[in-house]
Amino acid sequence: MTNFDLLVDGIIVLLYLAGTVAAGLWMRKFVSGVDDFLVAGRSVNLYLGIASLAATEFGIATCMANAELGFKYGFAGITPGIALALAMFIVGKTGFCIKPLRDNKVITLPELFKDKFGEKVRWASGVVIVLGGLLNMGVFLRQAGNFLAIVCGFEFAYLEIIMTTILLGVALYTILGGMISVLITDYLQFVVMSIGLIAAVTLFVVKFGWFDMLLTMQEQIGPGAFNPFEGGQYGWDRIALDILLAFAVVLTWQTIIARVLAARDTTTAKKIYIGTSPFFIVRFALPALLGIAALYYFGSDQFSGSNAIMAMPNLIAEVLPVGLIGILVAAMLAADMSTNSSYLLAWSSVIYNDIMKPIHKGLWSDKKGLLWNRLLIGFTGIFLLLYGLWYPLKGDLWVYMQVTGTIYLSSMSVLLIAACYWQEANNWGAIAAIISGSLIPISYLVLQEVEATQQMVLAIGPYKFGIATYFIAGICMYFGSKMKLILYKKI
Amino acid sequence: MEYWFWTILYVLIILWYIIVTLVVAIGGWKNIKEMITVLKNK
């Protein structure tokens, strides 16, 4: 059952979609080379940088994942957002790693690693970044399709068509306008998304009553809903992984780093980080509140286990009135399109700039470079569509995103810190960190699918796997680098 | 006590979000015009 009205809400959504795609397409005329396409000619100023970064890092999948955290853990589900905000503020204030990164005027992280660790490490870094990034993004489309099917009342049989349509719209303006189109559409999406989210949250609080929702949370989840350290639902290992992941994301996640690299200068890049940091609490706090509202409305039994993720879209479909539901769907589409466009651009930029470097050697003309970048965005889109269709998601969506992100976050954060601040770091340590950092999370994903190992993997849990990956990658970097120094001294 | 902590936190978060949305909407529009000028003059 849904309140979505095809005439009123449908027109709101269509108007928004047409406006965004038109704005994105209009910007394509300003693209004159690969630099404009990938980093908008490094001309991004503070407010546009904040709008773009905030819009990129908030999509339908994120909203559903964070609402699921709120539904299951209450306010404790906001912990990753608090960790991310603190990490972003600290890195922005100190310029830790991002200052040398921006000062080097590179387009991607692996490009920075080339000078310190050599071409092979650059290539290997490109491969793990793309692997982790694509696996991570692989579930975005299905979640967006699920959300739209429930809220708009479409049959699930049309899921593939909805997913393909969303992707085609985004790919169209990203392929033609690159980062310049992404920035303009991000700006529009930030504004629409903010209005939709604030309106929806306010309505639920007024309708259900703030203290009534808190009381329900207390009854259904217990004291752990208010304090992640209490009750044992959230747990220390999960909090530790949230903190490690937050710093790694802020330092190395390509879509975030792309804004540092596109910033006018280092000072602007630092200010963008400081200015965006509180948004990372918003990114968790508001969807979590939608999840808590769903808990109040449905109770915990109707959407238990892996079904919990469906509670928030069902709440929106049943409770929001005509008109507001259209604004919220437009807001969610806005959030999703900005995320998809930035992610498509980010991963294809790494494929072109780093993985394909041995082929083009940086000698291709701007025209040929642009063509290849556009083709890569198209191929990436097709991969995402196919992956999104067949991958069966198990457990929390946020946990899946943490595990797949760790494939590259663990080793890339270790490599970045070593490249910037440890003189003795070398390619042996870098390769050892990359191999260990990617093998452990991939093993987790594979072992949880194999029947014989499923129980063992579940007993250890994804958080301990994640924490171990970061530490082992760091240890491998240290001993690998030291080993090379010792062996070469002997020779 | 925890009820009040979260209540105040949420009020602050929503107020901050409204203010930032307004500031970024106005400032971002100016930035877009500046960026287009820079790109046009290249």
Cβ-Cβ contacts under 8 Å, A46 against chain B:
27, 31
Q: pLDDT band at residue A261, thresholds of 50, 70 and 90?
A: confident
d(CA A488, CA A484): 6
Whether residues B18 and A191 touch (CB distance < 8 A) is answered with no
Q: Output the pLDDT for position A393.
A: 61
Treating both helix axes as pointing N-terminal to C-terminal, what angle do A254-262 and A46-56 enclose, rounded to 10 degrees?
A: 170
Cβ-Cβ contacts under 8 Å, A289 against chain B:
10
Whether residues A50 and B20 touch (CB distance < 8 A) is answered with yes
Do the beta carbons of residue A437 and residue A407 sit within 8 Å? yes
d(CA A220, CA A74): 9
Cβ-Cβ contacts under 8 Å, A286 against chain B:
13-14, 17
Whether residues B28 and A47 touch (CB distance < 8 A) is answered with yes
Q: Tally the residues of chain A.
A: 491
Whether residues A278 and B16 touch (CB distance < 8 A) is answered with yes
Q: Output the pLDDT for position A214.
A: 92
Do the beta carbons of residue A188 and residue A19 sit within 8 Å? yes
Do the beta carbons of residue A318 and residue A203 sit within 8 Å? no
Highest mean predicted confidence (pLDDT) among A275-279, A417-421, B29-33, B36-40:
A417-421
From the CA of A109, how many Å to the nearest CA of chain B? 24
* Other CB atoms within 10 A of residue A462 CB: 23
d(CA A327, CA A11): 10
d(CA A244, CA A412): 13
Q: Output the pLDDT for position A391.
A: 66
> Which residues, listed in sequence order, are joined to residue A263 by a DSSP beta bridge?
A44
Which residues make Cβ contacts (< 8 Å) with residue A459, sequence separation at least 6? none
pLDDT tens for residues A23-34? 888 887 777 777
Which residues make Cβ contacts (< 8 Å) with residue A480, sequence separation at least 6? A426, A428, A429, A430, A431, A432, A433
Helix (H, G, I), strand (E, B) or coil at A263: strand
d(CA A111, CA A394): 35
The residue among A47 and A311 whose pLDDT is bigger is A311
Q: Does A75 touch chain B (CB under 8 A)?
A: yes
Cβ-Cβ contacts under 8 Å, A38 against chain B:
none
Among partner residues A40, A51, A195, which is closest to B28 by beta-carbon distance? Answer: A51
- DSSP assignment string, B1-42: -HHHHHHHHHHHHHHHHHHHHHHHHHHHHHHHHHHHHHHHT-
Q: Output the pLDDT for position A244.
A: 93
Inform me whether the pLDDT recorded for A95 exceeds 90.
yes
Inform me whether the pLDDT recorded for A314 exceeds 90.
yes
Least confident of A282-296, A388-402, A423-437, B15-29: A388-402
Whether residues A198 and B38 touch (CB distance < 8 A) is answered with no
> Which chain B residue's Cα is nearest to A212?
B3
Whether residues A48 and B32 touch (CB distance < 8 A) is answered with yes
Whether residues A43 and B21 touch (CB distance < 8 A) is answered with no
What integer best gives the mean pLDDT of chain A? 86
Helix (H, G, I), strand (E, B) or coil at A483: helix
Q: Does B32 touch chain A (CB under 8 A)?
A: yes
d(CA A121, CA A431): 7
Helix (H, G, I), strand (E, B) or coil at A234: coil
Do the beta carbons of residue A389 and residue A142 sit within 8 Å? yes
Do the beta carbons of residue A174 and residue A341 sit within 8 Å? yes
Q: Output the pLDDT for position A146.
A: 84
d(CA A319, CA A356): 50
The torsion angles phi and psi of A263, rounded to 5 degrees, stand at -65, 155
**Which of the residues A27, A28, A47, A229 would you substitute to probe the B interface, choosing the one with the greatest number of B C-beta atoms within 10 Å?**
A47
Which residues make Cβ contacts (< 8 Å) with residue A96, sequence separation at least 6? A90, A251
Inform me whether the pLDDT recorded for A485 exceeds 80.
yes
From the CA of A266, how many Å to the nearest CA of chain B? 17
Q: Does B29 touch chain A (CB under 8 A)?
A: yes
Cβ-Cβ contacts under 8 Å, A224 against chain B:
none
Tell me which residue of A311, A388, A414 sits closest to A135, measured CA to CA: A388
Helix (H) or strand (E) segment spanning residue A299: none
Tell me which residue of A384, A304, A322, A332 sits closest to A135, measured CA to CA: A384
pLDDT tens for residues A133-156? 888 888 778 788 888 889 988 887
Do the beta carbons of residue A408 and residue A455 sit within 8 Å? no
Treating both helix axes as pointing N-terminal to C-terminal, what angle do A236-252 and A462-490 enclose, rounded to 10 degrees?
A: 60
Q: Output the pLDDT for position A481.
A: 96
Cβ-Cβ contacts under 8 Å, A74 against chain B:
none
**Which of the residues A27, A37, A48, A180 would you substitute to probe the B interface, choosing the one with the greatest number of B C-beta atoms within 10 Å?**
A48
d(CA A367, CA A78): 45
Q: Does A280 touch chain B (CB under 8 A)?
A: no
Tell me which residue of A156, A159, A127, A128 sits closest to A141, measured CA to CA: A159
Whether residues A285 and B13 touch (CB distance < 8 A) is answered with yes
Whether residues B31 and A210 touch (CB distance < 8 A) is answered with no
Q: Both ends of chain A: CA-CA distance in Å?
A: 74
Q: Does B12 touch chain A (CB under 8 A)?
A: no
Cβ-Cβ contacts under 8 Å, B34 against chain A:
43, 45
> Which residues, listed in sequence order, are joined to residue A44 by a DSSP beta bridge?
A263
pLDDT tens for residues A386-405? 887 666 666 667 777 777 88
Arithmetic mean of pLDDT, A159-176 = 79
Task: Provide, rounded to the nearest whole percent, the portion of chain A with pLDDT above 70.
Answer: 97
Whether residues B6 and A214 touch (CB distance < 8 A) is answered with yes
Do the beta carbons of residue A152 and residue A4 sit within 8 Å? yes
d(CA A228, CA A239): 8
- DSSP assignment string, A32-60: -SHHHHHHGGG-B-HHHHHHHHHHHT--H
d(CA A373, CA A322): 41
Q: pLDDT band at residue A82, thresholds of 50, 70 and 90?
A: very high
pLDDT tens for residues A177-234? 788 788 888 888 888 888 888 999 999 999 999 999 999 999 998 888 888 888 777 8
Q: pLDDT band at residue A83, thresholds of 50, 70 and 90?
A: very high
ipTM: 0.90
Whether residues B39 and A43 touch (CB distance < 8 A) is answered with yes
Q: Report the amino acid identity of residue A179.
A: M
